[in-house]
Amino acid sequence: MDIADFCSNIKIVDDYVVGSKIDIPKSPGVYAFWWIGERVMLKQSNTEIILVGPGGSEVNVKYQHKWHEDLKYPCLYIGKTTNLRKRFGQHLMRGSINRLHNIPSNNHKIEPRTTTCQLRYGIEHIFREEEKPLELIFKNVGYSYREYKPKEIAERFFQEVMLIGKYRPWFNVDSER
């Protein structure tokens, strides 16, 4: 995969949604969500989350405002899937325009509504006061993807790890905890 193409073919999330349809293939692939809104807005968001670490200890994580120099936009989340269209929808949970998660003021991570809505949970965490997080996502978050042929499907595991290591997306930190 040409990483430059993956990072330059970013479209706003709203452009992929046409009525009730999602204009993304059902192919396996690697994908990313990007912050394409005002960086000031992102920098002023709630950038701390407290995770449960080894032995139940609290681990305070602060999302960093250091982005890879190759990136036009900050990366929020990178993932892999066997169905790009379905996974896109799972991240957004479009059936619920209001908040799905009430983030506590002490920044402790709470149990997400599902295990597949990392983007939605992350946006609701960093924008704790936002009443309509889906609208915020449609206006400020971009998406890019790369499809894989069935014979290349194992390649997506390596690409996901490589992209996470290089671009350090915020919401991948807490998605595995």
CA nearest to 75, candidates 154, 147, 173, 157: 173
Q: At what angle do helices 118-126 and 84-92 cross, to 10 degrees?
A: 30
Helix (H, G, I), strand (E, B) or coil at 35: strand
| CB contact set of 154 (below 8 Å; sequence gap of 6+) | none
Radius of gyration of the chain (CA): 16
Residue ranges per structural domain of the chain: 3-175
On whether the pTM is more than 0.75, the answer is yes
Please check whether the domain covering 3-175 is classified as CATH 3.40.1440.10.
yes
Q: Which H helix or E strand runs over 143?
A: strand 141-147
Per DSSP bridges, beta strands 29-35 and 75-81 are antiparallel
Q: What are the per-10-residue average pLDDT scores of the chain (177 residues)?
A: 72 93 94 95 92 88 80 92 95 90 90 88 94 95 91 84 89 67
